[in-house]
Amino acid sequence: MTEKLRPCPICGGEARLQLTDEEGNFKDESYLENPYSGVGYVLVHDISDSETCPIATHCDEALGTIIYASKEAAINTWNGRTEDNLTNYIFKVMNIFYGSFINHNNELILVPKTNLYFYLGDVNTVDKVKYKLLEWCSRSCFKAMPYRYAKKNKEYQDDVLRKVNECLDMEFTREQMELIYTKLGNCINHELTMKFVSSGYDMKLLEER
């Protein structure tokens, strides 16, 4: 069962899928004839193939703690490297902010007209893009006034709010965005931003204190 798995990102060595029961106990293929305690799959990256790899394990041990319900799920996780996901996510953000571009300073210019942007140089995961959206774009969702007329400013704010929400798969209101800006804006409390994102945007984290 070595099909379709990409090489290890660290050592370039081979990883394989291992059939298990529901609890992660290794099984051979004959177990599938009568899988009395469920079927699972785990990833194995055997140290005997890659003696110096820091994430390799013994040949009878699984990588990590996740038991996948299908081969496909295990393969997708192993093959879905951060950099692939990151590129895809940045493309998603750029599609939502139609007309955006990345300049020679590695800044993602989301709205050229108002120069709404953030720096991509220190971004290496999808979550870090989300931190930037919260820290550097929340103000524009309710408060920015790049135009002369109130009506245009309101339209602009609503537009940025809608787009940021789409990037984050959320439906934050203006009021919630104001709280986000107050607590997280301009990278004022980066640790809290990280907590907020990993909690699945639990507003209670921001409401406290």
Interface with Zn ion, residue 39, by CB under 5 A: no
Separation between Cα atoms, residue 166 and residue 168, nearest integer Å: 5
Could you say which of 5, 8, 42, 62 contacts Zn ion (CB under 5 A)? Answer: 8
> Distance between terminal CA atoms of the chain?
53
- Which residues, other chains included, contact 35 with Cβ-Cβ below 8 Å and sequence gap of 6+? 21, 27
Could you say which of 1, 39, 47, 53 contacts Zn ion (CB under 5 A)? Answer: 53
State the number of CA atoms in the 13 A half-sphere of 130 facing the CB: 22
The DSSP string of 29-75 is GGGGGS-TT--EEEEE-BTTT-TT-TT-B-TTS-SSS--BSSHHHHH
Could you say which of 17, 20, 40, 50 contacts Zn ion (CB under 5 A)? Answer: 50
- Which amino acid is residue 89, in one-letter code? Y
Interface with Zn ion, residue 63, by CB under 5 A: no
Q: Which is nearer to Zn ion, 8 or 129 (CB)?
A: 8
Q: Which is nearer to Zn ion, 12 or 112 (CB)?
A: 12
Q: Which is nearer to Zn ion, 53 or 59 (CB)?
A: 53
Comparing CA positions, the residue from 144, 143, 142, 140 lying closest to residue 174 is 142
Instruction: Give the SS3 label for residue 83.
Output: helix
Q: Which is nearer to Zn ion, 50 or 157 (CB)?
A: 50
Q: Which is nearer to Zn ion, 7 or 35 (CB)?
A: 7
Bridge partners (DSSP) of residue 107 are 119
Interface with Zn ion, residue 15, by CB under 5 A: no
Separation between Cα atoms, residue 87 and residue 150, nearest integer Å: 36
Q: Which is nearer to Zn ion, 39 or 53 (CB)?
A: 53
Q: Tell me which stretch binds Zn ion (CB under 5 A): 2-10, 153-161, 183-191, 193-201.
A: 2-10
Interface with Zn ion, residue 11, by CB under 5 A: yes
Could you say which of 13, 123, 134, 142 contacts Zn ion (CB under 5 A)? Answer: 13
Could you say which of 10, 32, 170, 187 contacts Zn ion (CB under 5 A)? Answer: 10
Q: Tell me which stretch binds Zn ion (CB under 5 A): 42-50, 105-113, 174-182, 192-200.
A: 42-50
Binding residues (CB under 5 A) for Zn ion: these are 8, 10-11, 13, 50, 53
